[in-house]
Amino acid sequence: MTTKVIKKFPTLFQVRHPLLQHKLSLLRQVTTSKKDFKELLTEITILLAYEATKELPMTTQLIRTPLESFDAPVLSGKKPVILPILRAGLGMVDGLLSLIPSARVGHIGLYRDEKTLEPQFYYFKIPKHSKNRHFFICDPMLATGGSSLETINRLKAEGIKKITLICVVAAPEGIKRITKAHPDVPIYTASLDRQLNKQGYIMPGLGDAGDRLFGTK
């Protein structure tokens, strides 16, 4: 089994596929270039998203092969929404869209105040008529959990019920906070890291995901 469920956090799914874990180790390395960081993040997202979308609803549709007609399985329901948390979440959108090209894309803008570590809100745009859509929030880093928590709260305030959180690296502190506040939101991650440091960075982590993705440091 490549996905581990941790007893303490029943809604956390840690995807441990060897290809994913290898790519994550490359992503973490301080020597990884901006170009490789972006490409690896896309590849990791595809592998995470494969697992995170496993409960999407299905129906059947009569299709014709060159030999006969039959009821074939197809996705049902309204198109899902990919919701990156700006900025670093943008690096996961292409990976998700490559699996679900018809998905809608919303955006939420949040940055952490460097001193308080509290998320500061600056942008929110989701498709009209979103209530019955499944939202896939994406952000490479789940540290204190403040940014993800704020995002989930906003979606729920809009009446959205089906929410999945996809992150690449998570800290126990953030996972504890999200699972307590929103036990109905599954979290998919490639790694549950050791802890946060005093500055709120995930250890061993990969540094500042936004800065590494966009070359802003």
Question: Which residues is 104 bridged to in the sheet?
Answer: 81
x/- track of binding to ligand URA for residues 83-122 (CB under 6 A): -----x----------------------------------
Q: Is 181 left (phi over 0), alpha (psi -120 to 50) or beta?
A: alpha
Cβ nearer to ligand URA, comparing 172 with 205: 205
Interface with ligand PRP includes 105 (CB under 6 A)? no
What does the alpha-carbon distance between residue 175 and residue 75 come to, in Å, rounded to a whole number?
Answer: 30
Q: Are 152 and 164 in contact (CB under 8 A)?
A: no
Interface with ligand URA includes 143 (CB under 6 A)? yes
Q: Are 170 and 194 in contact (CB under 8 A)?
A: no
Q: Residue 12: count other Cβ atoms within 10 Å of its Cβ.
A: 21
Partner in contact with 201, chosen from ligand PRP, ligand URA, none, beta carbon below 5 to 8 Å by kind = ligand URA
Cβ nearer to ligand URA, comparing 186 with 205: 205
Max intra-chain CA distance, the chain: 65
Distances (CA, A) of 81 to 95, 100, 108, 188: 13, 10, 12, 16
Among candidate residues 138, 147, 195, 146, the one with its CA nearest the CA of residue 167: 138
Collapsed DSSP state (helix, strand, coil) of residue 52? helix
Partner in contact with 85, chosen from ligand URA, ligand PRP, none, beta carbon below 5 to 8 Å by kind = ligand PRP
What does the alpha-carbon distance between residue 66 and residue 42 come to, in Å, rounded to a whole number?
Answer: 35
What does the alpha-carbon distance between residue 106 and residue 83 come to, in Å, rounded to a whole number?
Answer: 5
Q: Report the nearest approach of ligand PRP to the CB of residue 158 (Å).
A: 20
Q: Is 211 among the catalytic positions?
A: yes
Q: Is 133 among the catalytic positions?
A: no
Cβ nearer to ligand URA, comparing 132 with 195: 195
Cβ nearer to ligand PRP, comparing 78 with 214: 214
Partner in contact with 146, chosen from ligand URA, ligand PRP, none, beta carbon below 5 to 8 Å by kind = ligand PRP
x/- track of binding to ligand PRP for residues 171-190 (CB under 6 A): ---x----------------
Partner in contact with 205, chosen from ligand PRP, ligand URA, none, beta carbon below 5 to 8 Å by kind = ligand URA
Interface with ligand PRP includes 130 (CB under 6 A)? no
Residues that bind ligand URA (CB under 6 A): 88, 141, 143, 200-202, 205, 208-210
Residues marked active site are found at 112, 116, 208, 211
